[in-house]
Each structure stands twice: as structure tokens, then as C-alpha cells.
């Protein structure tokens, strides 16, 4: 029997690749994001290529009421969610702390920390009742180290690391698995979002080395989800071969 998984931020990058891979691997999917046109086209693609069912929820995760009301719309047969992939997230700007942009800080904190918390609260209550489930938090190498001008984004991902541990402790009595995945540089829309649509600046991030692609992270997530019942992968740090620290790359080489 297929499991039901909800993926936040399935309109792009890691969430999109994970949706595609999980659809081919025996999961029915609830896919979420703000860009509904992309969700609709992904639903159609999955319908044409796989046996998986897809249900779409179009909402902004920074708004608790919107998130709650979206989940309340789920038909009965979609309410039992076995897997939650907390992927929606973003970085905005790179500034020293004294030059920080308040709106950027708020958007990062509201999405990466508060949004993740809202949906986890709403979905984990059902997991607790059923005494089963798996939550995978997409964190980052930025949750393990801090780089110059990455202050608030890094802090938000450190919070995800801490929340992952907190969730694991709180949900331990119910047999619910909690994992985190910490990628290094993955070429997605992430840098375009960070640099507010500046494609040249975004492309520079990945210049001269072979970054991870979203499919690398999707495969890691699928591996985590398909371990036997007694095995939980707590945390995975996955980096491009050409990256050793957040800001340490081997560029201009065939890596
Ligand atoms: P993308 O920008 O390609 O995808 C981000 C996804 O998050 C989109 O689907 C977007 O959907 C969704 N999202 C953002 N804000 C909101 C919101 N307020 N409400 C609902 N959905 C939202 O980036 P990635 O795929 O790279 O990022 C996915 C995760 O991976 C993030 O948490 C990021 O921090 C993390 N990560 C990325 C790395 C990288 O190098 N790319 C490295 C390490 C971690 P929409 O805009 O349609 O709402
Ligand atoms: C994304 C990776 O190094 O740009 O989480 O912060 S980094």
C-alpha cells in the first residue's frame, strides 16, 4: 500500500525533484507551495508518468491560519499523512548585521523557522495519534557553520537543527522518526531568490565547480525514508566534492 507524504515547497528545486522521485517510488503526494500554476503542471506530469495520486495545497507557510485552513481542506482519504518533508525555505540577501534588511530577516525567520513549526505541529498531532510517521527537515550546511553575511539565514538553519533534535525527543515515545538533511551548494532557484532575481549574481555562486543538483538530495531523502522500521537516519551532511566548508570551494577544476 502506498504511503502519503506531504512536501512543502514542491514548486522548485529540491522539493520538486523529491516529488518526482517519490511519485515513482510508491508514495501518494500532497504538494504545497505558493505558485499554483507550477503545482498544477507538476500534478499533471506525475499523473501522466506514474501511478501516484497527487493532491495540491496552495498556501503561504508563513501564515498559520492559511496553513491550518489549507490542511483542513484535505479530504478524509488524504488526512493520514505518513511522511512530512519540511523543505520550503529561503535565504534573502547577504549583509553584515549592521546593514541587515529587516523585511529579509523576517521573511527568513517566518518561513524557515515559524512556517516549519506551524506545519509540523498540525501534521505531527495525527502522527502521534496513529503512533507512526516520519518527518524530514531540510536544513543546510548553514545549520552547522556560519559564514560572513549569512548571519540570519545561518541562524534559521541552526534553529532547524535544534528543532530536529527537539522533535526527535518529543516524538520518541510515539515511534515517530525525525531526520534532517544538510546540503552544501545545490544549484536550484535558491541563489536567484537570495539575490532577488539577479541571475548573473546567482550563477556566480556555482561558477567553476560541479554543485549538487536537486536530484542528489531527492535520492538522499528517498534513502532515509526507505530504511527498515528500526533504523532512523538522524542527520545527513551532503556536499559537492568540490566544497569543504560553506565558503571553501575548489573552483576552475573538473569537479
Ligand atoms: P528553491 O528556491 O528552488 O525552492 C524553494 C521552495 O520553497 C519553493 O518551492 C518555494 O515555493 C518554497 N517556499 C518558499 N517560501 C515559501 C512560503 N512562504 N510558503 C510556501 N512555500 C515557500 O530552493 P531549494 O530547492 O534550493 O530550497 C529548498 C530547501 O533547501 C530550503 O529550505 C533551503 O534553505 C534548503 N537548502 C538549499 C540549498 C541550496 O544550495 N540550494 C543548500 C542547503 C539547504 P513557492 O515560491 O512556490 O512558494
Ligand atoms: C544553502 C547553502 O551555503 O548558501 O543553505 O548557505 S549556503
User: Model confidence over 36-60: pLDDT tens digits?
Assistant: 999 999 999 999 999 999 999 999 9
**Closest-lying ligand 1 atom to the alpha carbon of residue 39:** 47
Per the annotation, the verdict on 206 as an active-site residue is no
Residue to mutate (ligand 1; options 29, 87, 89, 191; most atoms within 8 A of CB): 89
Ligand at minimal distance from the CA of 151 is 2
pLDDT, one tens digit per residue, over 176-213 is 999 999 999 999 999 999 999 999 999 999 999 999 99
Q: Please give the average per-residue pLDDT across 13-34, as a whole number.
A: 98
Q: How many CB atoms lie under 10 A from the CB of residue 162? A: 13
The answer to whether the CB of 34 falls within 8 A of the CB of 58 is: yes
CA–CA distance, 117 with 25 (Å, rounded to integer): 27
Q: Ligand 1 centroid to 188 CA: how many Å? A: 9
Whole-number Cα distances in Å, 64 to 69, 233, 237:
8, 29, 30
Per the structure block, which three cell numbers stand in for 34? 505558493
Per-domain residue ranges of the chain: 3-249
Q: Ligand 2 atom 4: the closest Cα is on which residue?
A: 185
Counting atoms of ligand 1 from 1, which one is nearest the CA of 139?
A: 44
pLDDT at 3: 98
Residue 69 has what pLDDT?
98
For residue 242, the model assigns a pLDDT of: 96
- Residue-wise pLDDT for 64-84, tens only, equals 999 999 999 999 999 999 999
Residue 64 cell numbers, joined = 498559520
Ligand 2 pocket test, candidate residues 141, 160, 204, 243, most atoms within 8 A of CB: 141
At which residue does the C-alpha cell 504545497 appear? 32
Rounded to two decimals, the pTM is 0.98
* Assigned CATH topology for domain 3-249: Rossmann fold (3.40.50)
Predicted confidence (pLDDT) at residue 254 exceeds the cutoff of 80:
no
Q: How far is CA 199 from CA 142, 150, 193, 248, in A?
A: 22, 19, 9, 22
Phi, psi for residue 136 in degrees, rounded to 5: -120, 120
Kindly state the cell numbers that stand for 91. Answer: 535565504
Tens of pLDDT along 112-155?
999 999 999 999 999 999 999 999 999 999 999 999 999 999 99
Atom of ligand 2 nearest to the CA of 153: 6
E strand residue ranges, 34-163: 54-58, 83-86, 134-138
Three-state DSSP at 203 gives: helix
Would the CB of 143 count as within 6 Å of ligand 1? Answer: no
Measured from the CB, is residue 90 less than 6 Å from ligand 1? Answer: yes
* pLDDT number for residue 252: 78
**Is the pLDDT confidence value at 253 over 80?**
no
Q: Which of 118, 153, 174, 206 is catalytic?
A: 153
Amino acid at each position: 500500500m502506498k504511503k502519503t507524504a506531504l512536501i512543502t515547497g514542491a514548486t522548485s528545486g529540491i522539493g520538486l525533484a523529491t516529488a518526482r522521485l517519490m511519485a515513482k517510488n510508491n508514495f501518494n503526494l500532497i504538494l504545497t507551495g505558493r505558485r499554483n500554476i507550477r503545482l498544477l503542471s507538476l500534478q499533471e506530469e506525475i499523473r501522466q508518468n506514474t501511478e501516484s495520486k497527487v493532491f495540491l495545497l496552495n498556501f503561504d507557510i508563513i501564515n498559520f491560519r492559511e496553513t491550518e485552513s489549507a490542511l483542513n481542506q484535505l479530504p478524509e482519504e488524504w488526512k493520514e499523512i505518513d511522511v512530512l518533508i519540511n523543505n520550503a525555505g529561503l535565504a534573502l540577501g547577504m549583509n553584515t548585521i549592521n546593514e541587515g534588511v529587516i523585511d529579509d530577516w523576517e521573511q527568513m525567520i517566518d518561513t524557515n523557522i515559524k512556517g516549519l513549526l506551524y506545519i509540523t505541529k498540525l501534521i505531527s498531532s495525527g502522527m502521534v495519534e496513529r503512533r507512526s510517521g516520519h518527518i524530514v527537515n531540510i536544513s543546510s550546511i548553514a545549520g552547522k557553520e556560519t559564514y560572513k553575511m549569512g548571519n540570519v539565514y545561518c541562524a534559521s538553519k541552526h534553529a532547524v537543527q535544534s528543532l530536529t533534535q527537539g522533535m526527535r525527543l518529543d516524538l520518541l515515545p510515539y515511534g515517530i522518526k525525525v531526520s534532517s538533511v544538510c546540503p552544501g551548494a545545490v544549484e536550484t532557484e535558491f541563489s536567484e531568490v537570495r539575490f532577488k532575481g539577479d541571475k548573473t549574481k546567482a550563477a556566480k555562486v556555482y561558477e567553476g565547480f560541479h554543485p549538487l543538483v536537486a536530484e542528489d538530495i531527492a535520492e538522499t531523502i528517498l534513502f532515509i525514508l526507505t530504511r527498515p522500521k528500526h533504523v532512523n537516519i538522524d542527520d545527513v551532511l551532503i556536499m559537492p566534492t568540490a566544497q569543504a566548508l560553506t565558503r571553501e570551494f575548489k573552483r576552475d577544476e573538473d569537479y
